[in-house]
């Protein structure tokens, strides 16, 4: 029984290890800062330019003095709590409190992973496009998708559904917040770095 319970964790990790090995053998890490707008000219003008700046304590303190960074960190740090609780306990909640059983709860969590993957990829592509073309639309996209994503979560917690309906609902709920979460996190970190250097 112990082996059967542990085996899925091993099997899930195998493709990741294989992919990591393949990437390590076939790809080369790009120069640090190559995609940063502020460093593009230096890379174009200086053939041997290498970005060597490191984060030190003074930059870390300066980063926290920026008000926009304070707002980003405040919501991000507190926002990690419900995500952690959801991922750890939602399977048991669906199986026991919603009476879906182990199979139904597993189906819901599988769609959680699929929704996360699609939301991350789709959100990254669409979010980057909006960020490059119109910052205002990007802000609306991030906030709007996050707010919409709360609706299915609240519904699945407070209402009773069949297995199929719950799976579909949870799948679409993952598309919304993950889209905004991943895109927002990427650009928040980028903005944080810019504010510490600027």
> CA-to-CA distance for 71 and 121, rounded, in angstroms?
26
* Secondary structure of residue 67 in the 3-state scheme: helix
For CA atoms 32, 34, 35, 36, the dihedral sign is positive
Written as six digits, the tokens of 82 are 């419900």
DSSP line for 134-175? -HHHHHHHHHHHHHHHHHHHHHHHHS---HHHHHHHHHHHHH
Give the pLDDT of residue 142.
79
Taking only the tens place, the pLDDT of each residue in 155-181 is 777 777 666 666 666 666 555 544 444
- Give counts: helices (H), strands (E), the chain: 7, 0
The whole-model pTM stands at 0.55
Does residue 186 surpass a pLDDT of 50?
no
Among 32-41, 42-51, 108-117, 186-195, the minimum mean pLDDT is found in: 186-195
């Amino acid at each position: 029984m112990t082996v059967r319970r542990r085996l899925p964790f091993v099997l899930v990790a195998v493709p990741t290890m294989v992919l990591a090995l393949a990437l390590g053998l076939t790809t080369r890490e790009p120069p640090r800062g190559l995609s940063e707008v502020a460093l593009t000219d230096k890379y174009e003008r200086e053939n041997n330019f290498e970005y060597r700046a490191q984060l030190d304590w003074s930059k870390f303190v300066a980063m926290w003095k920026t008000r926009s960074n304070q707002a980003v960190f405040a919501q991000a740090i507190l926002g990690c709590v419900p995500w952690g609780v959801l991922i750890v306990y939602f399977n048991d909640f669906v199986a026991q409190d919603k009476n879906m059983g182990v199979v139904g709860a597993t189906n819901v969590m599988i769609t959680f992973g699929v929704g996360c993957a699609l939301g991350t990829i789709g959100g990254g592509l669409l979010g980057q496009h909006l960020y490059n073309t119109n910052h205002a639309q990007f802000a609306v996209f991030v906030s709007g998708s996050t707010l919409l994503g709360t609706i299915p979560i609240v519904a699945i917690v407070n209402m009773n559904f069949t297995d199929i309906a719950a799976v579909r609902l949870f799948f679409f709920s993952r598309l919304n917040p993950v889209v905004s979460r991943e895109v927002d996190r990427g650009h928040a970190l980028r903005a944080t770095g810019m504010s510490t250097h600027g």
